[in-house]
Structure 1
Amino acid sequence: METENILDIIRKSQGKAAIISILEDIQEKYTYLPEEALRLVATETGCSLTDVYGVATFYKAFSLKPRGKHCVSACLGTACHVRGAETVVAEFKGQLNLQPGETTPDNEITFETVNCLGACALGPIVVSDGHYHANVTKREVKDIIKATREGTHGSGGASKDYEFSFEASCPQCGQSLIDAAYRIDGHPSIRIDVMTDVGTGWMRIPSLYGNFVKILEHAAPEDALLTPLCPHCGANLQGKLGCLECNAPMGTMNVDGGAGIISICSRKGCNGHILTLNGATI
């Protein structure tokens, strides 16, 4: 591990408020969180090593041991379990010749099981490098492994490769915020009103989870703070949460008819977000 690389990642952040973002960047580079990296994060941000370690162990997305180039996660939550997830997991174990939490000898694939992936209606769910596969059966496991190794998700490598789209509504009046007529990357947009220094206008974001582009009616600087409003009832959608990446207030919307909540950073240039579905934070 090169110390200077870790320091560069930390310097690009904004201190304590960006601990999760820092750890995400470190893991993306090294596939796990080396002990030396955790100590550097603690020293450079002024956080205690205990706090940094606590974050690293609390979120299942982080790993303290080396992982493979690709990661495959199979859900064993109740909804997936009753739909045959155990059979799917057994097939992965057999074809990869490893147990959950282990990595293939060529360091290509790490296989793990999780308690919930927040998309219960689509179970059994398998996520491979961020790509959701819904209603997975034993027969599809071989194709998913092949697509994972080849990086061909979404180009015919595996069947039933789902994007994670969602419905959004106002938490106050319950009206839908989906604008099917205005699409972003082929998906309906979410439309809310926002107040900026130059006045009130609309903002649209994709209804596709993982894409956090913000399209504004009026131009605004990247660091501009936007006050989100419901276009139907005018309610201020700003919640109590602060962005984990930049500490700005977050705008909150209901997801899938109340099945969850999504909070999106009100700073124009920040992609900070928190999505909770069926009790699971993604």
Structure 2
Amino acid sequence: MSVDVSKIVRSHEGKRGKLISLLQDIQSRYNYLPREALEVVAEQTGIPLVDIYGVATFYRSFSLTPRGSHLVSVCLGTACHVRGGREVAEELERQLQIKPGQTTTDNEFTLETVNCLGACALGPIVVLDGRYFSKVSPARVKQIIKSARAGKEEHTADGHVFPVKVSCPRCNHSLMDFSHQIDGHSSVRMTMAFGGKHGWLRLSSLYGSFNLESEYDIPLDTVVNLFCPHCHAELISANVCPLCGAPMVPMLVIGGGMVQICARRGCKEHRLDLNGVNV
């Protein structure tokens, strides 16, 4: 483990505000933040271990305990609650035989609760490994879990209708532009650079949508460098896209979690990791 963690630490050398993105890459590698890995980070960066734990416990997207192969999040926000979200959560507990925050004994499922997913009209909502299921009833829970166990995606998953609000993983400032909409929702604003050009870029905040607007046309297959418009840090992960090999661009989901998108124009690889906020 120490060798892999050391490589991740070296990949972040000289980067401003590197700790959060460094921890994100470690969690992506191990599915949680092992104590041994955090000790390596402390030793090689000079950051006190207590400060590293402070960051790891402050952000809900980080986990200090192993997660299951499948992460199940159920929304218990007001709108989902009044539509039966609590009953859906209880059925998930019965089917998985665990409580929120726990992992099944076979390490297959981790159950979490969140307080809002921003799509109140479509509740109750369940998220399984980044796939959204809207208007879920307790009776539907068993089929969702069964499909996951069988390695199948239930055909009723909704992939393009859920907005997410994101912030910079370096300075934690919101990246949302509430004055400009794409796909009918507030856009995500960044600055970009490619081929000697520098300008603004706005992305759709709908998870699963690839619509964007930019100051300059971006040719297909171009790898774009993206930056926070507030702290000007480059948004880049040590992870590379499994489809095309380009860098992944990390953003924190406001309320808990992380979304990563591929930096290559035209590539549709994206990942959403929601770690629930217990309510």
> 1:6 corresponds to which residue?
5
Structure 1 residue 118: Cα displacement: 3.2
In structure 2, C-alpha distance between the alignment counterparts of 1:224 and 1:10, rounded to whole Å: 21
Cα deviation, 1:143-173, whole Å, max 9, x if unaligned, reads 21122223322xxx252433355499x958x
Q: Which runs of 5+ in 1 are unaligned?
A: 180-188, 227-237, 248-267
1:209 maps onto 2:199 in alignment? no
Structure 1 residue 40: Cα displacement: 1.5
> 2:262 corresponds to which residue?
none
1:240 maps onto 2:240 in alignment? no
Instruction: Verify the 8 A CA contact 2:194 2:224 in the aligned structure 1.
Output: no
Identity %: 42
Cα 1:203–1:115 shift into 2, 3 Å: closer
What are the within-5 Å matches in structure 2 for residues 55-204 of structure 1? 55-153=55-153, 157-166=154-163, 171=177, 174=179, 176-177=181-182
SS in 2 for 1:66: coil
Supply the AA of the counterpart residue of 1:21: S
Structure 1 residue 176: Cα displacement: 3.9
> 2:168 corresponds to which residue?
none
Instruction: Verify the 8 A CA contact 2:69 2:109 in the aligned structure 1.
Output: yes
In structure 1, C-alpha distance between the alignment counterparts of 2:48 and 2:210, rounded to whole Å: 31
Cα deviation, 1:208-266, whole Å, max 9, x if unaligned, reads 4367798852569857577xxxxxxxxxxx7434548469xxxxxxxxxxxxxxxxxxx
Supply the AA of the counterpart residue of 2:12: S
In structure 1, C-alpha distance between the alignment counterparts of 2:102 and 2:115, rounded to whole Å: 17
SS in 2 for 1:8: helix
1:271 to 223, 229, 249: 249
In structure 1, C-alpha distance between the alignment counterparts of 2:48 and 2:208, rounded to whole Å: 31
In structure 2, C-alpha distance between the alignment counterparts of 1:110 and 1:10, rounded to whole Å: 28
> 2:243 corresponds to which residue?
none
> 1:251 corresponds to which residue?
none
What are the within-5 Å matches in structure 2 for residues 27-66 of structure 1? 27-66=27-66
- Count of residues in Structure 1 that have an aligned counterpart in Structure 2: 233
Cα 1:191–1:29 shift into 2, 3 Å: closer
TM-score normalised according to structure 1 size: 0.66
